[in-house]
Amino acid sequence: MKPHVLRIGHRLERDKRVTTHVALTARAFGASGLTLHRPDSRVVATVEDVVQRFGGDFSISTTTHPRVVARDWCGKVVHLTMFGTPLAEVAPLLRNERELLVIVGAERVPRWVFDVADFNVAVGSQPHSEVAALAILLAELNPRWAQPPLDGDLQIIPNVERRRLAAIPSEDECLALHRSVGLPAPLVAHCRAVAGMVAGVTDTLGANVALATAGALLHDIGRSRVTGIEHCAVGAVIAAEAGFHPGVVHIVRAHVGAGIPQREARALRLPPGDYLPRTLEARVVAACDNLFAGNHRRPLADCTEWLQSQGLEAAARRVTRLHRWVSRRLGHDLAEL
């Protein structure tokens, strides 16, 4: 469940900064988007710039009819107010909702908001910021809020000593890493072939082409040190140690087959965690990789039949599902490209 936020009562001359913070907080804590009452191009431009640079699928739009937005919402409506039911009592009910609209007011809230809301929710009983209230509510509803999107051009890397922003490596930087670790030429050719297909697919899907291409170029970098399935974990460490974008590291970690669930990863004695592709770019790289043997294309059946011959029936089914998932979004069979 990814709530949507409706910001009402925005005053162009007074609320630009606070409304921008409401939108950025909504994005950071896992909301799907924000609808802004009264158009304000400055707020929209600021938020869209952050989404472009730091990733995610957060959207921002404007309306002159907020009451209609709330009335026509296909799901439950929550209004944040000090004069409501305590959040602790309501949160368990809200977590079960699939479609949730959260109304955040600026100027004096009109009576219709209290009437249209299914839940008038109080986050504490003391005066405070609507930004804080929204953050607390979304954090209660989404325990994974601290996991940032991995598809932006920039990624903040936590560091106690200095500010670190990781950018997507260029093709030259990826190939330089190949040379520095001594990746064999046939594997470099394979990575380049996969990257060529990935670039076209991600461009068609409107995903981050630079991120997906870098991940594809580096997906087998771990084979410079090991030859088994653990190359995905080793490669992720190599890419992280090079200071590359976490989205690229994720692609490298999750590219094998259609990803490896945590339970199977433990059985394979991989480092803790799962190895499932969670971004569109990572899924595209994994799906395209399955269609190559070396730098030559192969039928998907060659991949799935090999997995079945190794007794990896679940992995074969995941590969087929991933192929179909990407194909549906393309509008035609990925193998036909």
pLDDT on residue 299: 97
pLDDT on residue 107: 80
By the 10 Å C-beta count (0-12 exposed, 13-18 middle, 19+ buried), 317 is classed as middle
Alpha carbons 209 and 235: distance in angstroms, whole number: 20
Q: Which of 45, 23, 46 is nearest to 35 (CA)?
A: 23
What are residue 7's DSSP bridge partners?
36, 104
pLDDT on residue 145: 85
DSSP 3-state of 82 = strand
Mean pLDDT of successive 10-residue stretches along the chain, which has 337 residues: 93 91 96 95 96 92 96 95 91 91 92 95 89 96 84 81 84 97 97 98 96 98 96 96 94 96 93 93 98 97 95 95 97 94
Q: Hey, what are 109's tokens?
A: 């809230």
Counts of helices then strands in the chain (DSSP H, E): 15, 10
pTM: 0.80
pLDDT on residue 42: 94
pLDDT on residue 152: 87
pLDDT on residue 169: 96
Question: What does the DSSP assignment read for 108-137?
Answer: SPPHHHHHH-SEEEES-SS---HHHHHHHH
Alpha carbons 218 and 235: distance in angstroms, whole number: 8
Alpha carbons 101 and 113: distance in angstroms, whole number: 12
Domains, the chain, with CATH or none: 4-141 (3.40.1280.10), 169-336 (1.10.3210)
Alpha carbons 332 and 311: distance in angstroms, whole number: 30
pLDDT on residue 149: 82
pLDDT on residue 159: 72
By the 10 Å C-beta count (0-12 exposed, 13-18 middle, 19+ buried), 307 is classed as buried
pLDDT on residue 170: 96
pLDDT on residue 147: 82
